Amino acid sequence: MSHVSLLCRAVVALGVVGAISACRTSVESGGGSGAPDDDGDAMLNEPAPDVERPGLDGKPVKLSDFRGRIVLLDFWATWCGPCREEIPHLAEISRKHAGDLVVVGVSDEKTETVTRFRDAHSVPYVLLKGRSRDYGPVFAGNAIPRLYVIDRDGIVRQRLVGYHDRARIEAAFKPYLTATASPPS
């Protein structure tokens, strides 16, 4: 086997390992960072930026449109195995807590790709276009899936990085279910 062929195989193997590690990282919530590529813990307990991004239909959606409800902001991709495993949990949570909570998925893939995936997997929640850095430094990072819990007042309270089952996701937002939003100033 030639040196070029061996080098090509090594590069491909490193790319696969990189993609897997980008999908599977650690849990972060309110302190203690485990993801090597982002330091978003410094942004927890701060207001979420009021970013406006297009939905799959092209219409703009702002995070503040959901003020008064808990927002689970999920950065994901159709090709990411752990993201795909987590989607049924988010769908069930979205249905179960529809009046109190909204799930917002964000993908930087082509609209057609995300629309096909949504339709094939019956994703019932809001899907927006964009990259995490489009949402400001609070949400910047590379690891996916990456889920943020934003309380009713628009404050970023928790961050979960990597795959989590429904019980763990519910535990992350449950403390904010009973809290009511502060009156607008």
Domains of the chain (ranges, CATH numbers): 3-177 (3.40.30.10)
pLDDT of residue 1: 58
- Over the chain (185 residues), the average pLDDT of each successive run of 10 is 49 42 40 40 83 92 94 96 97 95 95 96 94 70 92 95 97 88 44
The residues that are catalytic are 80, 83
Tell me the CB-side half-sphere exposure of residue 65, using CA atoms within 13 A. Answer: 14
Question: What does residue 150 show for φ and ψ, rounded to 5 degrees?
Answer: -115, 125
Q: Pairing relation of β-strands 52-54 and 146-150?
A: unpaired
pLDDT of residue 96: 96
Q: pTM for the complete prediction?
A: 0.76
pLDDT of residue 27: 36
Which residue from 153, 147, 151, 93 is spatially nearest to 125, judged by alpha carbons?
93
Helix (H, G, I), strand (E, B) or coil at 18: helix
pLDDT of residue 7: 43
CB 156, CB 150: distance < 8 Å: yes
CA 80 centroid distance within chain: 12
